[in-house]
Amino acid sequence: MSDIGTETKASEAKREGAFAKFLRETEVDTRLLGMLAALALIWIGFHYYGLFVNGFGAFLTPRNLWNLSVQTSSIGIMATGMVLVIITRHIDLSVGSMLGFIAIIMGTVQVNILPQYLGLGHPMIWIIAIFAGLLMGTLLGAFQGWMIAYGTIPAFIVTLGGLLVWRGAGFLVARGETISPVDATFKLLGGGPFGAIGNTGSWIVGILGCIAVLALIILGRRKRKTFGLPLRPVWAETFLAAIGAGAVIGTTLLMNAYPWPKGIIKKYAAAEGIEVPPEGIFISHGFAIPVLILIGVTIAMTILMTRTKFGRYVYAIGGNPEAAELAGINTRWMTVKIFALMGFLTGIASVVASARLGSATAALGTLDELYVIAAAVIGGTSLAGGVGTIYGAILGALVMQSLQTGMVLIGFDAAIQQVVVGSVLVIAVFLDILYRRNSK
C-alpha cells in the first residue's frame, strides 16, 4: 500500500516537474491557463447541462458562440479601459450610465437633427453621429478625471455621482422616449447578418491574424538575440506559433460555420434576383463588425499598455504613486487622460450597443458598470493597483457573458442569474487572492 502511495507521489512530482518546465520554457502565464480552463469548464458545463437536463445542448453551437462574441463586444471594449482605471487605484461606476447618455446623444444627432439638414440616409450622418458620441465620451470622461485629479474628490464619489447624473440626463434629453430607427450604416456596427464580413472577409482577417502571430514570435526572438537576452527553445516558439495560429484559424472556421437564417436569405435572394435552390444557400456570417471593433480595441490597448510610455506610467502610478511623481511623471494629468480614454471607449461601446439594438434608449447600459468592473477584476486586475492586463479583461468579459448567456440557454430565470453572477465574482476574486498569496 505504502509503496504504491509513494510511487504515485513520485510520478506525480515528476509530471509536475515536466509541466512546470513546459510553463517556464514557453513563458506562458499560469493565470492565463487558469482562465482559459475556467472558460472551457463553463462552456462544456452549460452545453452538457442543457444536453442532459433539457435534451439539447445549445451552448457549443456556431450560432450561440457567434452571438456570444457579439454580446461580449460592448462590455469587452469598456473593460479594456477599466483595467487602466483600476490599475491606478481608481474606479469608474459611471460607464453604464454614460453609455446610455452617449447613445441618446448619438440617436438624437442621427435621427432628430442631421436628417433635417442633410436629408435622410445621407452618407455623412453615421460618421458625424459617431464622431459626436466619441467626442462626448472623451469630454465627459476627462471632466470626471479632472474632478478626481485636480479637485481631489475620490473617484468612487465622482463616478457614483456620474452614475446618477448621466442616466438622468439621458432621460431628460430623450424625454423618456426611445429614439429609432438609427441610420442604416450605423446599424451595421452592431452586428447581425449584414453587419458581419462574410466568408472571404473572415478568411482575410484570419490569415492576417496568423501572419501577425508569426511576425510577433519571429521579431521577438530576433530582438532578444540582438541584446543577448535568453531565448525560448525552438520547440517552445514553434508550439506557441502553432497554438496561436490554430486559435485564429479555429475562430475563423467557427464564425464562418454560422449561416444566415432562411428568412434573411430569402429576402436577400429576392433583392439580388437569385434563385434559392430547394436545399437552401449557405451564406456565412463570418466575423461580426462589433467583434472586429473589439479586436481592434484590444490590439490598440495592448500596444498602449505594453509598448508606450503612457502604459508604463499607468503601471508605475498603480505600483507606487509617490515614486511615479518623483520620477517626474505628472500623475494628475495622467489621471485625466486615463478617465478621458475610459470615456472614449465607453463611446465606442455605446456605438456598438445602440447599433445592435437599432435604437437608443436612456436605459441602455443599465448595470453595465458592474459587468465591466467584474470583467476586469475576474481578468486579474488587482483592486490594490499596479496589476492587470488587457487580454485578462477580455477573457473576464467572455466569462461574465458566457455565464449570462449560458443561464439563459438552460432556462434559469433572471433571479437565479443574478445570484450566480454575483457569487462567481466574489469567488473569482477570492481565488485570485489565494493565487497571489501562494505565488509570493
Partner 1 sequence: MSDTPLVQLKDISISFGGIKAVDHVSLDLHAGEVVGLLGHNGAGKSTLIKILAGAYKKDSGEIWINGKQAEINSPRDARDHNIETIYQTLALADNLDAASNLFLGRELTSPMGFVDDAKMAAETAKIMARLNPNFKKLKEPVSALSGGQRQSVAIARAVYFNAKILIMDEPTAALGVHETEMVADLIKELKDQGLGIFLISHDTREMMDLCDRVSVMKNGQMVGTERVEDVTEDDILSMIIMGKNPKAAA
Which residues are 259's β-sheet partners? Answer: 284
Q: Which stretch binds partner 1 (CB under 8 A): 68-76, 192-200, 276-284, 325-333?
A: 325-333
Would you say 217 or 248 has its CB closer to partner 1?
Answer: 217
Q: Print burial letters for 255-291: b (CB count within 10 Å at least 16), e (below 16).
A: bbbbbbeeeebeebbeeeeeeeeeeeeebbbbbbbbb
Q: What residue has cell string 463553463?
A: 42
List the one residue from 53, 303, 416, 433 that touches partner 1 (CB under 8 A): 303
Q: Which stretch binds partner 1 (CB under 8 A): 251-259, 265-273, 309-317, 373-381?
A: 309-317
Question: How many residues at the interface with partner 1, by CB under 8 A?
Answer: 27
Q: Contact at 8 Å (CB) between 232 and 26?
A: yes
Would you say 96 or 386 has its CB closer to partner 1?
Answer: 386
Q: What residue has cell string 487622460?
A: 337
Smallest distance, Å, CB 224 to partner 1?
6
Would you say 33 or 303 has its CB closer to partner 1?
Answer: 303
Site residues (CB under 8 A) for partner 1, limited to 192-251: 223-224, 226-229
Smallest distance, Å, CB 312 to partner 1?
6
* Alpha carbon distance 282, 258 (integer Å): 9
Smallest distance, Å, CB 29 to partner 1?
13
Please, where are the H alpha helices in 93-197?
95-107, 114-118, 125-149, 155-174, 184-188
Query: Torsion over CA of 170, 173, 176 and 181, rounded to 10 degrees?
Result: -90
Smallest distance, Å, CB 436 to partner 1?
11
Per CB under 8 A, 437 contacts partner 1: no
Would you say 106 or 324 has its CB closer to partner 1?
Answer: 324
Q: Which residues contact 261 (CB under 8 A, 6 or more apart)?
A: 193
Per CB under 8 A, 438 contacts partner 1: no
Smallest distance, Å, CB 327 to partner 1?
4
Site residues (CB under 8 A) for partner 1, limited to 340-359: none
At 21, the amino acid letter reads K
List the one residue from 66, 287, 315, 339 that touches partner 1 (CB under 8 A): 315
* Alpha carbon distance 63, 59 (integer Å): 9
| CA dist list (Å): 195 to 189, 288, 355 | 6, 6, 10
Q: Which stretch binds partner 1 (CB under 8 A): 111-119, 124-132, 302-310, 346-354?
A: 302-310
Smallest distance, Å, CB 386 to partner 1?
4
Would you say 77 or 316 has its CB closer to partner 1?
Answer: 316
Q: Contact at 8 Å (CB) between 380 and 388?
A: yes
Rg (CA), the chain: 24
What is the distance of C-alpha 205 from the center of its chain?
Answer: 18
Q: What residue has cell string 459626436?
A: 132
Q: Contact at 8 Å (CB) between 179 and 359?
A: yes
List the one residue from 31, 122, 266, 312 that touches partner 1 (CB under 8 A): 312
Give residues in contact with partner 1 (CB under 8 A): 223-224, 226-229, 303, 307-309, 311-312, 315-316, 318-320, 322-329, 386-387
